[in-house]
Amino acid sequence: MKSPILLIALSALSGLVAATNSTGSLFTLGALDSSDSSPTPNIGFFNKRSSREHPEISKRQAVPGKKAPRYGTVVAKSPFKLVGRDALNSPSVPTQARLTVSSSSGTLLGYVTPSTTFPGDFTYVNDLTKATAFSLTLATNDVQNLPIVNPPSGVYPYLAGVAGGSNTGSNSPPYIPSTDFGGDGSANGQNYAYLSSAQNVPYGPAQQVPNGDNSTPYAETGMFQLSGTGLQQLVPVWVNNDKSVVPNQQFGLDSSNSLIMYGSQTAVNNAYGTITPVTIGYVV
């Protein structure tokens, strides 16, 4: 027989539970999971407090036959993708840059810009404020194209190499200049391309596209790669018709200070006179 005191205590506890269930102002007691000695939480009150901050919590239900999550283990995923400073500085995000031209000894000569003497080709100027801006993806050595930011009239959207009009094949029928580069000792070693602008060409051999140079209609745009210590140097990666790539391609200046690219310094010097080798870097 239960004592009067015990009956009074049980009656008070029942009243508290009933009041809690009707108002939701506290929390309801959990049922015991047959596979676990810990109580399965009923998170009705927890939802009221936190569902505005974490909407997904209210959708989460206990799965029959599995242990329900304990308090403090429910983690709601944010519906927003965080974009912070690190994400904005990710290597996959292009950066506006100006291209520098330096001598082989490292002396800065100037900054890449379209030529006024030979429209369509690129040269350099000493004034950074007059330099052309390019969209450059940093911290990667993947081959890439360089979109020109706000290209002026007569300049196409992408930095390009345009096959030279004096390349092998230009002096004999059918008078079509070769678009293949060659190394030292190669018949195509004297071949070159002007640094110019063109419509976009996917990475691969030159294609006939509108371009800023009048030498030939053959151009490549997806042909630039960051190289050297800290990936601070831009190098050309001209692709031949058979999809081969001559190693150690470089930039140079011809006698009119137009920027060109080629596979053999010795061969272009022998064919066209002195071509001054230069390196191209960038500033942001």
Reference 223, options 165, 136, 138, 161; nearest CA is 161
Tokens of 175: 């008078």
The enclosing H or E element of 108 equals: strand 108-114
What's the pLDDT at 232? Answer: 94
Q: Do 281 and 108 contact (CB within 8 A), yes or no?
A: no
- pTM (predicted TM-score): 0.68
**pLDDT per 10-residue tile (average), the chain, 284 residues:** 49 46 40 41 34 30 37 35 35 87 97 91 96 95 96 93 94 90 95 97 97 93 95 97 97 96 97 96 96
Complete domains list, the chain, with CATH: 10-85 (no CATH), 94-283 (2.80.10)
What's the pLDDT at 3? Answer: 54
DSSP-assigned letters across all residues of 148-200: BSSPPTT--SEEEEEE-TTSTTTTSTT---------TT-TTTT-EEEEEEES-
Q: Give φ, ψ of 113 to 5 degrees.
A: -160, 160
What's the pLDDT at 7? Answer: 46
What's the pLDDT at 224? Answer: 98
Cis peptide before 91 (omega within 30 of 0): no
Q: How far apart are CA 64 and CA 40, in angstroms?
A: 11
Longest dimension (CA), the chain: 121
Residue 84: which residues within 8 A CB-CB, separation 6 or more? Answer: none
Q: How far apart are CA 273 and CA 277, in angstroms?
A: 12
DSSP 229: G
What's the pLDDT at 246? Answer: 97
Burial 124-142 (b: 16+ CB within 10 A, else e): bbeeeeebbbbbbbbeeee
Q: Do 204 and 197 contact (CB within 8 A), yes or no?
A: no
